[in-house]
Amino acid sequence: MKPLTNRSKAVSNKKMTFLERIYLPAIIGGMWITFKHIFRKKATVKYPDQERPRSDVYRGKHVLKRDDKGAERCTACGLCAVACPAEAITMVSAERQIGEENLYREEKYAAVYEINMLRCIFCGLCEEACPKEAIFLTPELVISNYERESFIYGKDKLVESMDNRIDVSKRQEPLVISKKFNG
């Protein structure tokens, strides 16, 4: 079998020599190794001050997209909730009233849409399942908190605001978009 590294050594039960038995050379060798590590480059990332770059398609906190006119894309079809392996998504659907056309893109919408961020495993299957390109994962992180209840994100936290739109074009492959919209 090919070894993974060339550092492997065959184990033997030979009797230790005098130098090996008094341990001192091995101890000095070990201390030299730890001493060298003092001058190594540190691996620490000072997280809140300094963030490691995340991929454009990093699977973080979700966003519920609006269309270009500002209407919510979600129609509360429930496919994301069905696809979710962690059962983190719940929703209550409602019918759009006359005069709400600018708020909701289609006749049915999600009156309540909640994702339990403690259950969510950030697999991205909701994003894949969505036929309306409404839900996406973003490179943003779910921030920590003290209360369990505060991890159930409702529409107030999920729906994007029109002033501060979130670009998800990197996640939308042209082939997928054409399939989803043109059958």
Partner 1 sequence: MSTLLIIKIVIILIIFTITLVIAMYSTYMERKVAAVMQDRIGPDRAGPWGILQPLADGGKMFFKEDFIPKKSEKWLFILGPGIAMFTACMTGAVIPWGGTVTMFGETFSLQIADIDIGILYILAFVSIGVYGIMIGGWASNNKYSLYGAVRASSQMISYELAMGLAILAVVMSTGSLSLKDIVESQSGGHWNVIYQPLAFLLFIVCAFAECNRAPFDLAECETELIGGYHTEYSSMKLGFFLFAEYINMFISAAVISVLFFGGYNFPFMHELGLSSNAITFIGVGVFFAKIIFFIFFFMWVRWTLPRFRYDQLMHLGWKSLIPLAIINLIITGAWLIFKDDPSATWSILKDSF
Interface with partner 1 (CB under 8 A): 27, 30-31, 33-35, 37-38, 40-44, 46
Nearer to partner 1, 9 or 37 (CB): 37
Smallest distance from the beta carbon of 141 to partner 1, in angstroms? 20
Smallest distance from the beta carbon of 24 to partner 1, in angstroms? 8
Nearer to partner 1, 38 or 175 (CB): 38
Nearer to partner 1, 25 or 154 (CB): 25
Residue 104 in 3-state DSSP? strand
Nearer to partner 1, 48 or 99 (CB): 48
Smallest distance from the beta carbon of 17 to partner 1, in angstroms? 16
Smallest distance from the beta carbon of 20 to partner 1, in angstroms? 14
Residue written as token pair 């050594």: 9
Q: Which residues of 130-163 are buried (b: 16+ CB within 10 A; e: fewer)?
A: bebbbbbbbbeebeeeeeeeebbbeeebbbbeee
φ, ψ for residue 46, nearest 5 deg: -75, 90
Residues ≥6 apart with Cβ < 8 Å to 27 = none
